[in-house]
Chains A and B, each alone.
Chain A
Amino acid sequence: MLAFHQNHGCEGTVVVTQVEEPSKYGVVVYDGNGKIERFVEKPLEFVSNKINAGLYILNPSILDRIEVRPTSIEKEIFPAMATDGQLFAYELSGYWMDIGQPKDFLTGMCLYLQALRQNSKGALTLVSGDTFVGNVLVDPTAVIGHNCRIGPNVTIGPDVVIEDGVCIKRSTILKGSKIRSHSWLDSCIVGWNCVIGQWVRMENVTVLGEDVIVSDEVYINGGKVLPHKAISSSVPEPQIIM
């Protein structure tokens, strides 16, 4: 990326990536050399499938372009730089995901785990064994009980305790949480230091904030639960609990 920037010698490089639904984002139009002609924010008709991936390499000289007031770099500075022919696009290869939304976070997590499987160098390695299915990342300090089924696409953080007979799919469990026996989770993000009771079922992008307690036998469908809440009755329809 740096080599590309230094090679063209202009003020800025914007990393772009290809997506299926470009009109959800800002589309970037550039020529064969990568010089950016213009930006189109959320186009109504198809213009291009390359969008701004949110990574930039910039020369310090761009600071002279910024006035001292609230300014959006994408809306004000980059279009000006494009007109001046000073902005280039670098195509990203490999996976990319905007993980601002919980459901996109989980999709991004799956992509990340898949990449990990393909080049297993680095500190993080995937686990294998009878309990695990597909791509699963487990912190060494986590404790997992008997007869569980973990995976595919699960990440388990430090000091997490998972009791016997738990099934987890496509979820992230953050540090210090405890999941009691016989529960079933699919597409969930469990925050730090939560306690999930026995025979709980959570699915459909349920997100628990820090220190949430879920009582035994509860069902949560797409609940978004703010920190420090206790959930004692089922949430059958997606909603925010605060």
Chain B
Amino acid sequence: MEVNANDCIKGVILIGGPQKGTRFRPLSLDVPKPLFPVAGFPLLQHLIEACVNVPAMKEILVLGYFSSEEINPFLNEISHLYKDVKIRYLQEYTRLGTAGGIFHFRDQIKAGHPSAFIVINGDVSGDFPLRDMLEFHRENLNKPVKPLVTMLATEATRQQSVNYGCIVENKTTHQVVHFVEKPSTFVSTLINCGVYVCGIDIFSVISKIRKEKQESFYSGETQEQLESIMIERDIIMPFAGKHGNIFVYQTNRVWSQVKTAASAIYANKQYLELYRKTKPSRLAQSKERGDALGVRVIGDVYIHPSAQIDSSCVIGPNVSIGKNVVIGPGVRIHDSIILGDSAVEDHSLLLYAIIGWSSSIGKWSRVEGTPCDPNPNKPFAKMENVPLFNAEGRLNPSITVLGKSTNHFNC
């Protein structure tokens, strides 16, 4: 596909606000969930990087209802890394819904005349084939029924599919024939990833929906909030069957949602593995390969340059170590995230755990969580997002999370 030099694509990342991300507590109590670091970098930054790699990407707009003071310092810090792309935070004044927010900022999105724009849900992580998806969307513009929205989809197991938006697809034309959010009975194993390519004509569609909602609200027909318009419920679901202008692009690349603290560990593992292909310089190298640190590294590990780790430690696989972390001699860590300014003392063992900022772990400590990884025996299985307590009121085994400034004493 030829990229027109004047072509313009925009990215829109929807990050929600403080009322969202409650299942991510206590980690989201100190930091907005989109800024929580996995594989060494904030979740939001991974999504920004995915957009930056799309040819002709000119601007990325981050939409949410966190206050600007919470998000702008981060965006200012990273802006120099992506010089060709402008990145801005747009704060919603009230919860407008996924489509409502996009409509509210339509002028900003339309500025520069983009031919299309990509919308990404802030709590997904993975290896998105954005370039291919955009090309697929463009090719279909030659078809008799043009795509209004192309959605990214992936396979799930039969049982898990009902936890997501389920898509029924016409296998030849790739049009969405039917779409339903979290059905109570099985509909399809093809699930919505929360990533969309939208044409500019979507704004007139949303405008029409808005007018209809206003009329029914003021005529007393509906009680629901006037402003909230959702992409899935108000556009995809009704338009799929009726107009046939919703298309689906299926991927088998990694994809997962980051809803709970446990899912952060899984996303950490995913992104670290992706670095092998996309950013190998971010991965720590083992002592045998002549690394200055001298630490023995197993598998995929990210270590912030300011971290101090004794050379007798064994770190990895699937570990991210944050800024200024100090790790004493003889420590073993795998499948964990150690956040900034923490200290882990001698001879400790940490597995399947998230250690919050400025925490300290005493000597000979053992901090162990239970992994919630997808069942390896089932193809396309996703992570189980189990609730905190089971039906008998007992805690479900999960990743161990130590919140900010926790002290675990030496025994």
Q: Point out the residues of chain A lying under 8 angstroms from B366, CB to CB.
A: 184, 199, 201, 219
User: Within A137-162, which residues are at the interface with B (CB < 8 Å)?
Assistant: 147
Q: Point out the residues of chain A lying under 8 angstroms from B349, CB to CB.
A: 182, 199, 201, 217
Q: Point out the residues of chain A lying under 8 angstroms from B351, CB to CB.
A: 217
Q: 1/0 contact trace for B364-375 toward A, CB 8 Å?
A: 101010000000
Complex CA–CA separation, A153 to B346 (angstroms) = 22
Q: Which residue of A lies closest to B366 (CB)?
A: A201
From A164, A167, A217, A219, contact of B332 by CB (8 A): A217
Question: Judging by beta carbons under 8 Å apart, are A147 and B329 in contact?
Answer: yes
Question: Judging by beta carbons under 8 Å apart, are B364 and A198 in contact?
Answer: no
A181 within 8 A of B: yes
B330 within 8 A of A: yes
A34 within 8 A of B: no
Question: Judging by beta carbons under 8 Å apart, are A167 and B330 in contact?
Answer: no
User: Within A170-202, which residues are at the interface with B (CB < 8 Å)?
Assistant: 181-182, 184, 186, 198-199, 201
B347 within 8 A of A: yes
A165 within 8 A of B: yes
Complex CA–CA separation, A44 to B243 (angstroms) = 85
Q: 1/0 contact trace for A204-228 toward B, CB 8 Å?
A: 0000000000000101000000000
Q: Point out the residues of chain A lying under 8 angstroms from B363, CB to CB.
A: 167
Task: Known contacts A181-B330, A182-B332, A217-B332; decide if A167 and B368 are in contact (CB<8 Å).
Answer: no
Complex CA–CA separation, A61 to B411 (angstroms) = 57
Q: Point out the residues of chain B lying under 8 angstroms from A164, CB to CB.
A: 330
Q: How far is the CB of B316 from chain A (nearest CB, A)?
A: 13
Q: Point out the residues of chain B lying under 8 angstroms from A147, CB to CB.
A: 329-330, 346-347
Q: How many residues of A contact B (CB 8 A)?
A: 13
From B329, B331, B347, contact of A184 by CB (8 A): B347
Q: Which residue of B lies closest to A164 (CB)?
A: B330
Q: Point out the residues of chain B lying under 8 angstroms from A181, CB to CB.
A: 330, 347
Q: Point out the residues of chain B lying under 8 angstroms from A167, CB to CB.
A: 347, 363-364
User: Within B385-405, which residues are at the interface with A (CB < 8 Å)?
Assistant: none
Question: Judging by beta carbons under 8 Å apart, are B346 and A199 in contact?
Answer: no
Complex CA–CA separation, A165 to B310 (angstroms) = 14
Q: Point out the residues of chain A lying under 8 angstroms from B368, CB to CB.
A: 219
Q: Which residue of A lies closest to B351 (CB)?
A: A217
User: Within B169-185, which residues are at the interface with A (CB < 8 Å)?
Assistant: none
Q: Which residue of B lies closest to A216 (CB)?
A: B332
Q: Point out the residues of chain B lying under 8 angstroms from A198, CB to CB.
A: 332
Task: Known contacts A147-B346, A182-B347; decide if A165 and B330 are in contact (CB<8 Å).
Answer: yes
Complex CA–CA separation, A124 to B64 (angstroms) = 73
Q: Point out the residues of chain B lying under 8 angstroms from A182, CB to CB.
A: 330-332, 347, 349, 364
Q: Point out the residues of chain A lying under 8 angstroms from B330, CB to CB.
A: 147, 164-165, 181-182
Q: How far is the CB of B369 from chain A (nearest CB, A)?
A: 12
Q: How far is the CB of B400 from chain A (nearest CB, A)?
A: 13
Q: Point out the residues of chain B lying under 8 angstroms from A201, CB to CB.
A: 349, 364, 366
Q: Point out the residues of chain A lying under 8 angstroms from B346, CB to CB.
A: 147, 165
Q: How far is the CB of A25 from chain B (nearest CB, A)?
A: 34
Question: Judging by beta carbons under 8 Å apart, are A199 and B332 in contact?
Answer: yes
Question: Judging by beta carbons under 8 Å apart, are B332 and A165 in contact?
Answer: no
User: Within A100-129, which residues are at the interface with B (CB < 8 Å)?
Assistant: none
Q: How far is the CB of B33 from chain A (nearest CB, A)?
A: 31
Q: Which residue of A lies closest to B346 (CB)?
A: A165
Q: Point out the residues of chain A lying under 8 angstroms from B364, CB to CB.
A: 167, 182, 184, 201
Q: How far is the CB of A217 from chain B (nearest CB, A)?
A: 6
Q: 1/0 contact trace for B263-296 toward A, CB 8 Å?
A: 0000000000000000000000000000000000
Complex CA–CA separation, A70 to B349 (angstroms) = 55
Q: Which residue of A lies closest to B331 (CB)?
A: A182
Q: Which residue of B lies closest to A181 (CB)?
A: B330
Q: 1/0 contact trace for B331-359 toward A, CB 8 Å?
A: 11000000000000011010100000000
Complex CA–CA separation, A184 to B363 (angstroms) = 10
Q: Which residue of A lies closest to B368 (CB)?
A: A219
Q: Point out the residues of chain A lying under 8 angstroms from B347, CB to CB.
A: 147, 165, 167, 181-182, 184, 199
Q: Which residue of B lies closest to A148 (CB)?
A: B347
Choose among A147, A199, A217 the residue with the greatest number of B CB atoms under 10 Å from its CB: A199
Q: Point out the residues of chain A lying under 8 angstroms from B329, CB to CB.
A: 147, 165
Q: Which residue of B lies closest to A163 (CB)?
A: B330
Q: Which residue of B lies closest to A236 (CB)?
A: B368
Complex CA–CA separation, A201 to B347 (angstroms) = 11
Choose among A164, A165, A219 the residue with the greatest number of B CB atoms under 10 Å from its CB: A165
User: Within A35-79, which residues are at the interface with B (CB < 8 Å)?
Assistant: none
Q: Point out the residues of chain B lying under 8 angstroms from A199, CB to CB.
A: 332, 347, 349, 366
Q: Point out the residues of chain B lying under 8 angstroms from A184, CB to CB.
A: 347, 364, 366, 411
Q: A147-B347, A167-B363, A199-B349 given. 11 additional CB < 8 A pairs?
A: A165-B329, A165-B330, A165-B346, A167-B364, A182-B330, A182-B331, A182-B332, A182-B347, A199-B347, A201-B366, A217-B351
A interface residues with partner B (beta carbon < 8 Å): 147, 164-165, 167, 181-182, 184, 186, 198-199, 201, 217, 219
Please list the 6 inter-chain residue pairs (A to B) with the smallest Cβ-Cβ separation, ordered nearest first. Answer: A182-B347, A199-B349, A165-B330, A184-B364, A182-B330, A165-B347
7 residue pairs A–B, Cβ–Cβ below 8 Å: A147-B346, A165-B347, A182-B349, A184-B364, A199-B332, A217-B351, A219-B368
